[in-house]
Structure 1
Amino acid sequence: MEQRVYSSPSSAIPFPSNDPEARATSTGPDVAEVNSPVASIHDGKAGHDVEKVNNILDDIDIYDPNRPKFNFSLRIKHFTWAWFTLPMSTGGLALLIYAQPHQFPGLRQIGFVVYVANIIIFAGIVAAMTMRFVLHKGTFVTSITHSREAFFVPTLFLAIATIITGTQRYAIAEESTSLVWFISALFWGYVAGSLFVAIAQYSYVFKTHDLGLHTMMPTWILPIFPIMLSGTIASVIAETQPEMNAVPIIVVGLTCQGLGLSVAFMMYAHMVGRLMSRGMPNREHRAGLFMNVGPPAFTALAVIGMANGLPDNLDINMGMVLDMKVIRPIAVVAAIFLWALSLWWFSIAVVSVVLSPPQYFHLNWWAMAFPNTGFILATISIGNEIQHEGIRWIATGLSICLLLTYLTVLFNLVRAVVIQDIMYPGRDEDVLDGTDT
């Protein structure tokens, strides 16, 4: 069996490859050139894996603008799970448009178009992933066990979550009883699937991987993210559910939200320790720090939504003091508490990216869109609950910034595909590139 080697200044860690396309090489200080990984994004920390294609490429710098171009059949092999960050961000944008505190004629129609476009994008990515697994045998198992790409598998569920909530907002009329039950069934199916992912993926990582805490990245949070969004889905769909459905959905949603946030807090401890001991990640991965914004932001959004989704006459303690007049104010207070943590992570991420912007496009740029959508939606919810127009206008301004961010990332995504900066050997999430440190 061939051995591909991930090199760093202090270690060389071999890992197996059954890939007939790839040949082992390593990069280090001795190969630093003008466009090489070491020269351009090394920052004195680690090198990149460089794949060589047998009988096609030899001694190629994958960051050389004049490197050879590949045909589609070879490039589709590097179409990774991280592509689902595109529909999850697009679906989040549709939800943000719907929730805008300052609406104008036609805005909801624009949101509906974005919602439909998101479904088309999602279907296209599913088709492309299927093509990858069919054309390149063995890549499915490799992708879900890879120590880097596998962490992006949960983005599939995050994209599905945005489709479910978008369907509730844009496609289901309140008087449509059958569709209300359909959304309820989707919720329970999503809870089951995302819980399986959270347990199975972390169990596999704990059993098989040996990841040093100095390499900690926010992608480690992703496996728990889908189950956490069960609370966000519950907060959206509970309003239109009959009382017999709404209460169980909210209870389960709150449970899942609590599980997700608790695991995220444990991950935060490692993340802060990693930042304190090793400094900021390489500039190519600093955009991923925005993932830390998501858990507290979506939890703040969810607790307000679930509190408002409970029936007005509900007294869950049967005559005791804890009733709706208590639950809703507590939800708002908790949301503000969590929003502040989200703001702190947002600020840390902004500062880190501004100080050292990435040079090359990576799909982790979408972390600048989706988690921040939750942050803005939470801001809108808080502004609505305390009836503060200033907060609503701040949220509107942030929404405009997020739209510009989305369009910028989308433009760079299309450009990267065209010029083969991604979907290219060594340039995607299916290889270890060492820039996590």
Structure 2
Amino acid sequence: MSLTTVVTNNTATQADIERRPSWQGHLGLRDRLQHFTWAWFTLTMSTGGLATLLHAQTHKFPGLNTIGTIVFIFDLLLFASLTSAITARFILFPRAFRKSLHNPAESLFYPCFWLSISTVILGIQAYGVPACGPWLPVVLRIIFWIYVACTFSVAVVQYYFLFTAANLTFHSMTPAWILPVFPVMLSGTIASLIAPDQPPEQRLPIIVAGVTFQGLGILVSMIMYPIYLGHLMTDGLPAIDLRPGMFISVGPPSFTTLALIGMANALPPNYGFFATHPIAIEVLQTMALFTGCFLWALGFWLWWAFVFPNVGFTIATIDIGRGFESEGILWLGSVMTVLIVVTWCFVFFSHVRAVLRHKILWPGRDEDKDA
């Protein structure tokens, strides 16, 4: 919105006042909700990821599980609140939904909604299954297949849009371009956690699907990395408002590491292929562990992140420590966990402060500014 204001002798006339933007000084809840974008779901990605990380700890203390449960419940409340807020935006401003999916800056964060769902599934597995009956693993199995179908569709459709209508350029490239395939890649992470509680006849298809789509995600990411590094070499760091997207590059190798190790450890012995090739499980577990080390190094080199990608990086570190039975690596994972908890608190405080100071959720300051 552009306005031309005529001021004579530094005195505002009534016409000048009428021309001023309605958002100068104060905005009501309705007007602020107009700028509630998909990027807000990075908050629930990180909070749900933190709950999963707390559950994955090897060095536990009394009350840690309770703390993790509280964080998970808080994540559920946040997810419900964010979903309600963005639904209200689309109801109050009917054209906003279409614009949110067609605006390249905002649409790249649409997958964060699905990534938040993945952390909810992981939290249900971590904190719900031990406290509930055998019905919950069945529900999670059904949810897993629905999630795979939905997120694969997101990856196909959103990339089709980016290829045909987004007008993105090499010079605007950030690892956020990986986000459309990220949710379906997390199928491998979900499979690695829910598979051990599934019967063998259900476990193996889940693991196969997890490996398949984890492979899709890491390969698409590997295709994107040369573009990203080429952009950095030729143009330097991206613009300040695009730099937060740099954190995403840590995620694919990190989550692939924990997914491969987890799925290999969950393979069903004496069932199907593994009944006739029992040594294959040990071979695959060894391959997963050493491949995980290979990918862990890439994640470490790309380590520029705040919470969510480093959740995967830290859990991968813990899984490697378990695999090698190394207390040193396990303690490293514990120290990294403490750092992530501190970082989450800092980022959450900064997020609240940004809202109060009108740095976000304000006209021209969110991902929808170019819509």
User: Which residue of 236, 242, 251 corresponds with 1:294?
Assistant: 251
The aligned counterpart of 1:33 is: none
CA contact (8 A) 2:258 2:319 kept: yes
The aligned counterpart of 1:269 is: 226
* Percent identity for Structure 1 against Structure 2: 43
User: Which residue of 286, 290, 293 corresponds with 1:336?
Assistant: 293
Q: Calculate the TM-score normalised by the size of structure 2.
A: 0.92
**Aligned partner of residue 368 in structure 1, secondary structure:** coil
CA contact (8 A) 1:315 1:323 kept: no
Residue 417 in 1 paired to residue 355 in 2? Answer: yes
Equivalent runs, 1:14-413 vs 2, <5 Å = 22-23=1-2, 55-57=19-21, 68-173=25-130, 176-314=133-271, 316=273, 319=276, 323-346=280-303, 349=304, 368-413=306-351
What does the per-residue CA deviation read over 1:397-431, in whole Å, with 9 as the maximum and x for residues that have no partner? 11111111100110011111112111101100112
> How far 1:315 sits from its partner (Å)?
6.2
**Aligned partner of residue 130 in structure 2, secondary structure:** coil
CA contact (8 A) 1:315 1:324 kept: no
The aligned counterpart of 2:9 is: none
Structure with a larger share of its residues in helix: 2
Q: Which amino acid aligns with 2:282?
A: K
Q: Which amino acid aligns with 1:205?
A: L
Residue 426 in 1 paired to residue 364 in 2? Answer: yes
Q: Which amino acid aligns with 1:198?
A: A
CA contact (8 A) 2:268 2:274 kept: no
Q: Which amino acid aligns with 2:220?
A: V
> How far 1:432 sits from its partner (Å)?
4.1
CA 303–174 in structure 1, closer or farther in 2 if over 3 Å, else same: farther
Q: Where does the alignment leave 5 or more consecutive residues of structure 1 unmatched?
A: 1-21, 26-52, 61-66, 350-366
CA 316–253 in structure 1, closer or farther in 2 if over 3 Å, else same: same
Q: Where does the alignment leave 5 or more consecutive residues of structure 2 unmatched?
A: 5-16
**Aligned partner of residue 172 in structure 1, secondary structure:** helix
What does the per-residue CA deviation read over 1:174-194, in whole Å, with 9 as the maximum and x for residues that have no partner? 872221110000000000000
CA contact (8 A) 1:314 1:323 kept: no
CA contact (8 A) 2:274 2:281 kept: no
Distance in 2 separating the partners of 1:385 and 1:287: 33
Distance in 2 separating the partners of 1:321 and 1:237: 22
> How far 1:264 sits from its partner (Å)?
0.5
